Structure 1
């Protein structure tokens, strides 16, 4: 296996840039024919944008912590959320990026396995990879990972050390090569 070169760390740390993306994403959701009742932040990266979107849309926010893999903070909550959906609640999941699609695919599969009504479910992200195995309903920026190898560092991640950011980038090398 060949060593992958370090990616370009692309910092989205300017508040104005982040806020513009949130406002655009919220406007796309508001102007669509589908109106959510709840915003659900996907932890860890989707929590901050979800808070902003929930305020922009004046909707209550729930959160799940998929990234921690700690029992009780994601799968069990997703089963409860699936029940809400089956009872008619319209749910908007928000994450920072749809890169490989693994998080969205995992969440969708778990929801469907627990009886979620697909028509009551939407996904929104700030950045979506056109080559992802998962599709999202709303996004602000589209990239093609076949051409764009930047590692996006969101404002809430910019406090991490460069070493931590590079370690996270290299954790899934197929995103970088």
Structure 2
């Protein structure tokens, strides 16, 4: 398996770009929810950058949805899109650092980079064992 190692410098750049896209949207998200594992670190970083509370409980996200208040779902990559499809089907806005455009079944509202290869993206919070 081939790996593309994603540095902290790239992560910081991605968060800056996503934050700008989110600010430019003029949507005022009530909370940010990071998907367990890959989405947690970028969600925390976006939460700090945008000064939007991050929640760890999906129940809080649903409470806001019922009240028609926006919540942002964050993940590191939309690979096949299967993980994010549920949130997309429920009409949540999604931010992903990377989108594997040739395999992802969804298109996040916000993204840093589109990729068109099958190399494993090895984020700084992972090890090569993560890919097994």
Give the TM-score normalised by the residue count of structure 1: 0.68
Moved beyond 6 Å, runs of 4+: none
Matched, 1:129 2:100: yes
Runs of 5+ in structure 1 lacking a partner?
1-6, 65-76, 113-117, 168-177
* Bigger fraction of residues in strand: 2
The alpha-carbon deviation at position 166 of structure 1 amounts to 4.0
Pairs aligned (count):
131
Q: Report what 2:65 is aligned to.
A: 85
Of residues 45, 48, 51, the one that matches 1:58 is 51
The alpha-carbon deviation at position 38 of structure 1 amounts to 0.8
Q: 1:127-171 CA distances to partner (integer Å, 9 max, x unpaired)?
A: 012231112100000012xxx1210011111xx2x3x1441xxxx
Give secondary structure in 2 for the equivalent of 1:105: helix
Larger radius of gyration between Structure 1 and Structure 2: 1
**Cα RMSD between the aligned structures?**
1.7
Matched, 1:8 2:23: no
Of residues 19, 22, 26, the one that matches 1:29 is 22
Contact 2:33 2:61 (8 Å CA) reproduced: no
Of residues 85, 89, 95, the one that matches 1:105 is 85
Q: 1:22-44 CA distances to partner (integer Å, 9 max, x unpaired)?
A: 11111111111322111111111
Give the TM-score normalised by the residue count of structure 2: 0.89
Matched, 1:46 2:18: no
The alpha-carbon deviation at position 9 of structure 1 amounts to 1.1
